[in-house]
């Protein structure tokens, strides 16, 4: 892929795809905080970028982490110091509700950063979530939001393979459009894999290992 300067005129489709990719990264972090003392390693790859994100949770209330991104569109390597904080959690016998604050600062400088919130509510059968994020950088600030919902077609026991069928919708101020697409999520033991597909962004694969 040819090198593209950061301030170059970006074709509309390039902007669209990049926004879609960023949206994928946000929505796939369904569990941004681990248990106390737990670590999580995430890997995401598609035709747009490669990303590796590691976070550690000193408490179940927050996580700190670093993310390395190989941006295929702008041909840039970026790294972020990230913080996620659990603002609120409600546990019941059959459900859990969460509200998170998320933020990140790039090694490129304080001007390149993001913050936002995202929340979810889930039972063993149903999941709904939403998110809102403000992104600031030296080439284009933007806002994005999403909603997603899903269901488990069967209820597996502890240790089984678990499957979720998801539907996601997102909006980005750069494109102004809502995009809706399906995704499948699988997890077994400490491994989680999520596969999303959009006809314009092609496949997006996200892997997670918790330890």
Partner 1 sequence: MNKIVLTSIFLTASIWADHGHNHAMEMEAHSHEGHLHDTLVDGKALEVDAVRFDNFMAGLTDSQVAIVSVNGMVCDFCARGIEKTFKKDKAVTKIDVDLNRGKVLIAYGSSTTIDFDDIKKKILANGQNATDLQILTI
Residue 109 Ramachandran class (φ > 0 left, ψ -120 to 50 alpha, else beta)? left
Q: Examine residue 58 and tell whether it contacts partner 1 (CB under 8 A).
A: no
Closest CA to 102 of 39, 27, 161: 27
Per-position x/- string for 97-116, each x denoting binding to partner 1 as judged by CB under 8 A, each - no binding: --------------------
Q: Examine residue 35 and tell whether it contacts partner 1 (CB under 8 A).
A: yes
The residues, ordered by sequence, that sit 6+ positions from 126 with a Cβ below 8 Å of its Cβ are: 149, 150, 151, 152
The Cα–Cα gap between 140 and 114 comes to 12
CA distances from 54 to 11, 108, 188 (A): 32, 19, 20
Q: Examine residue 163 and tell whether it contacts partner 1 (CB under 8 A).
A: yes
- In the bound state with partner 1, the residue whose beta carbon lies nearer, of 4 and 205, is 205
**CB of residue 202 to partner 1, shortest distance in Å:** 8
Q: Examine residue 180 and tell whether it contacts partner 1 (CB under 8 A).
A: no
Question: Long-range contact list for 149-155, CB < 8 A, 24+ apart?
Answer: 150/126, 150/183, 150/185, 151/125, 151/126, 151/127, 152/124, 152/125, 152/126, 152/127, 155/124, 155/125
Interface segment toward partner 1; rule CB under 8 A; list 1-9, 17-25, 106-114, 156-164: 156-164
Q: Examine residue 162 and tell whether it contacts partner 1 (CB under 8 A).
A: yes
The residues, ordered by sequence, that sit 6+ positions from 87 with a Cβ below 8 Å of its Cβ are: 99, 100, 101, 117
- In the bound state with partner 1, the residue whose beta carbon lies nearer, of 107 and 190, is 190
Structure tokens at 95: 């459900």
The binder of partner 1 chosen from 111, 161, 178, 200 (CB under 8 A): 161
Interface segment toward partner 1; rule CB under 8 A; list 17-25, 84-92, 101-109, 166-174: 84-92
Per-position x/- string for 1-30, each x denoting binding to partner 1 as judged by CB under 8 A, each - no binding: ------------------------------
- Per CB under 8 A, residues contacting partner 1 are 31, 33-38, 59-60, 86, 89, 91-96, 122-124, 153-163, 165, 182, 184, 186-190, 192, 195, 197, 202-203, 210
């Amino acid at each position: 892929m040819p090198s593209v300067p950061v301030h170059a005129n970006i074709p509309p489709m390039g902007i669209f795809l990049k926004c879609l990719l960023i949206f994928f990264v946000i929505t796939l972090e369904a569990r941004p905080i681990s248990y106390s003392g737990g670590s999580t390693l995430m890997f995401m790859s598609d035709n747009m970028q490669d990303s590796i994100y590691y976070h550690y949770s000193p408490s179940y209330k927050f996580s700190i982490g670093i993310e390395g991104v190989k941006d295929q569109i702008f041909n840039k390597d970026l790294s972020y110091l990230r913080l996620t904080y659990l603002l609120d959690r409600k546990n019941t016998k059959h459900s859990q509700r969460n509200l998170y604050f998320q933020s990140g600062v790039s090694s490129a400088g304080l001007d390149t950063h993001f913050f936002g919130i995202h929340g979810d509510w889930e039972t063993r059968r149903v999941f709904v979530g939403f998110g809102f994020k403000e992104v600031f950088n030296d080439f284009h600030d933007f806002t994005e939001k999403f909603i997603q919902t899903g269901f488990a077609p069967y209820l597996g026991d502890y240790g089984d393979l678990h499957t979720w069928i998801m539907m996601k919708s997102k909006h980005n101020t750069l494109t102004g459009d809502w995009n809706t697409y399906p995704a499948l999520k699988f997890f077994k033991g400490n491994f989680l894999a999520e596969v999303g597909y959009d006809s314009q962004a092609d496949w997006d694969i996200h892997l997670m290992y918790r330890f």
